[in-house]
Amino acid sequence: MNAQTLSTKRAEVEWHNFASFGQPERALAVYEEENRRRGGLLAKHLEFAGPLEPFLEIGAAAGHSSYMLVNQFQARGFALDLSADALRHGAHLMDAWGLQHAPVRVAGDAANLPFQDGSLRFVMAFQMLSQFTGMERVFQEVHRVLAPGGVFFLAEEPLRRLLTLRLYRCPYRENMKSWERKLEEWGLLGYVVRDVIGAAQEEDFGIRQNHTMSLRRWHDMIQKYFAAAEYEIFVPERGWGERIVKRAAVRLDRYHSVWRAARLLGGTLAAFCRKAGSSPRPLIERLESLLRCPDCHAALQMRQDSMLACACGYRAGLEDGVYNLLPSKERTELYPGEQGDLVDFSRPGHEEHLLAGWSEVEGLFGNKYRWIAGRAVARLKRVREGPQRLRIRGHAHELFFQQGEAPRIEVRVNGGSAGVWKPDRTGVFVLEADVPPAAEFLVEISATPVWRSPPDDREFTVTISMLRLIPREP
């Protein structure tokens, strides 16, 4: 079962690196609110959850909820995410929050968990299962690594909404147009958009999402793999348009529950799911002893130099506090290191690829970027065989749309046009285009209109944070 395509995994690695601490103050505020919400749910269901260690958080991003479990609930465990960079950035939480303890951080795939069978007592996942088109594969893996009687805590997963025309995908509020914000205030936006509000940003980035799961389908999936469960269902009340329908649905429900309202209006689901059976609480001296090789599934051994090693030849060193335990083929594809077909402004050495038109580097962590004025040029080199696709990530400022001229971005490769894009809203954008075979690629990015922001005398259009060549998928 293919849970995710390689292109989706590549987009997720980029996204989590970019978003995890790209705006530190905003990220910390979001993380604090999420931890209050998640910690409150956990405390409420703590008796059902039972022992919380050893734990694993999958799709952890910066790992902020794992840090909460370690420091607030005194549990030991692992934070796992596809993005090793996002996990590295999470180390700054210890300084920002004055924390004493950290989880073991592991870059890995939720559909191929690098943990031994029955090795964990508690697994948690937030806002990440819907990023798998083959979601059941993740359930299978979680069930495998949980010990008998262990608990899977999933939360903030979207419920498919029945009452909507599904006309288009809508971005998050900060990138909405004025009429979209007004509809949201009235509680009417959800009746016209496809999937959940905010899905557009991840979809445009290349992250394919699964918003087909109704409350009934979630219940059936949980019952298939777990013996018992406790649910928390959250149905929105964004303005009078949703408030009226929710209250009517609750009144009409036989048990006055929110199940009928969730079917009509969607919302989010939290669930504590217990695996059948029971087992004694294991005595664990080293958490690393619970890991297994992602290639051959044999036990990993910890060497004196902190290298994890397998008899099959697999090796994973501790790199800036993170073990990269992705399967060898995926690790090579997602973490190729410095090479000629990638320009990432968050990494040193990218300057040698830049030819003309780039400002100085700005930004923090995985959200470093350079402004361009009217035109900028960079050079990429072919590294792998097969058809190639150019991928450019950038950001359009709100002033780009306030100059009385329709915004326009054109990309030319080796003198020929690769495409013209006309962005219609502020925020992150990703441009992709197939490119003809060549040993080198001269990439020229042109944008209009040009604008200024006094007293700064520079000219601006958009920012660019990454250029790369990726394999063209069938």
> Is a pLDDT exceeding 70 seen at residue 282?
no
In this predicted model, which residue has the larger pLDDT, 14 or 113?
113
Residue 210 lies in a domain: yes
- State the pLDDT at residue 353: 95
- State the pLDDT at residue 4: 85
CA 297 vs CA 64, 109, 286, 314, 334: distances in Å: 28, 14, 19, 10, 20
- In this structure, the answer to whether residues 351 and 265 fall within a common structural domain is no
Q: What are phi and psi of 440, to 5 degrees?
A: -135, 155
- pLDDT bin (cut points 50, 70, 90) of residue 201 is confident
- In this structure, the answer to whether residues 378 and 245 fall within a common structural domain is no
Rounded mean pLDDT, 235-251: 95
- In this structure, the answer to whether residues 11 and 109 fall within a common structural domain is yes
Residue 322 lies in a domain: no
Question: Cβ(118)–Cβ(147) under 8 Å?
Answer: yes
Residue 92 belongs to what H/E stretch?
Answer: helix 92-97
Question: What tens digit of pLDDT does each residue of 248-264 get?
Answer: 999 999 999 999 999 99
Residue 239 lies in a domain: yes
Residue 306 amino acid letter: S
Rounded mean pLDDT, 27-49: 96
- State the pLDDT at residue 1: 52
Rounded CA separation 194/192 (Å)? 7
Residue 161 lies in a domain: yes
Q: Read off the pTM.
A: 0.92
Give which of 207, 231, 258 is closest to 155, Cα–Cα.
231
Among the residues of 232-334, which ranges form H helices?
240-252, 259-265, 328-334
Using CA of residue 236, residue 238, residue 239, residue 241, what is the dihedral sign?
Answer: negative
Question: What tens digit of pLDDT does each residue of 73-82 get?
Answer: 999 999 999 9
Residue 248 amino acid letter: A
Residue 282 lies in a domain: no
Rounded CA separation 295/327 (Å)? 5
CATH assignment of the domain containing 418:
2.60.120.200
- In this structure, the answer to whether residues 396 and 265 fall within a common structural domain is no
Rounded mean pLDDT, 386-409: 94
Q: Point out the domain boundary residue: 274, 295, 310.
A: 274
Give which of 270, 127, 272 is closest to 196, Cα–Cα.
127
Residue 296 lies in a domain: no
Rounded mean pLDDT, 367-380: 95
Residue 55 lies in a domain: yes
Rounded mean pLDDT, 63-70: 97
CA 10 vs CA 327, 338, 416, 452: distances in Å: 14, 16, 27, 35
Rounded mean pLDDT, 150-165: 96
Quickly count: other Cβ atoms within 10 Å of residue 27's Cβ: 24
- In this structure, the answer to whether residues 236 and 376 fall within a common structural domain is no
Residue 292 lies in a domain: no
Mean pLDDT of the chain: 93
Rounded mean pLDDT, 360-388: 93
- In this structure, the answer to whether residues 257 and 363 fall within a common structural domain is no
User: How many domains, the chain?
Assistant: 2
Rounded mean pLDDT, 343-352: 92
- State the pLDDT at residue 360: 95
- State the pLDDT at residue 226: 98
Quickly count: other Cβ atoms within 10 Å of residue 294's Cβ: 24
Rounded mean pLDDT, 41-69: 96
Rounded CA separation 105/125 (Å)? 15
| DSSP assigned state of 21 | S
- In this structure, the answer to whether residues 50 and 187 fall within a common structural domain is yes
- State the pLDDT at residue 22: 85
Question: What tens digit of pLDDT does each residue of 101-140 get?
Answer: 999 999 999 999 999 999 999 999 999 999 898 999 999 9
Paired tokens of 69: 């479990």
- Across 187-201, 247-261, 273-287, least confident range: 273-287
Quickly count: other Cβ atoms within 10 Å of residue 244's Cβ: 12
- In this structure, the answer to whether residues 136 and 219 fall within a common structural domain is yes
- pLDDT bin (cut points 50, 70, 90) of residue 309 is very high
- State the pLDDT at residue 6: 87
Using CA of residue 56, residue 57, residue 59, residue 60, what is the dihedral sign?
Answer: negative
Q: Provide the 3-class DSSP secondary structure of residue 463.
A: strand
Full domain range(s) for residue 465: 342-471
Rounded mean pLDDT, 275-286: 79
CATH assignment of the domain containing 178:
3.40.50.150
Rounded mean pLDDT, 280-309: 87
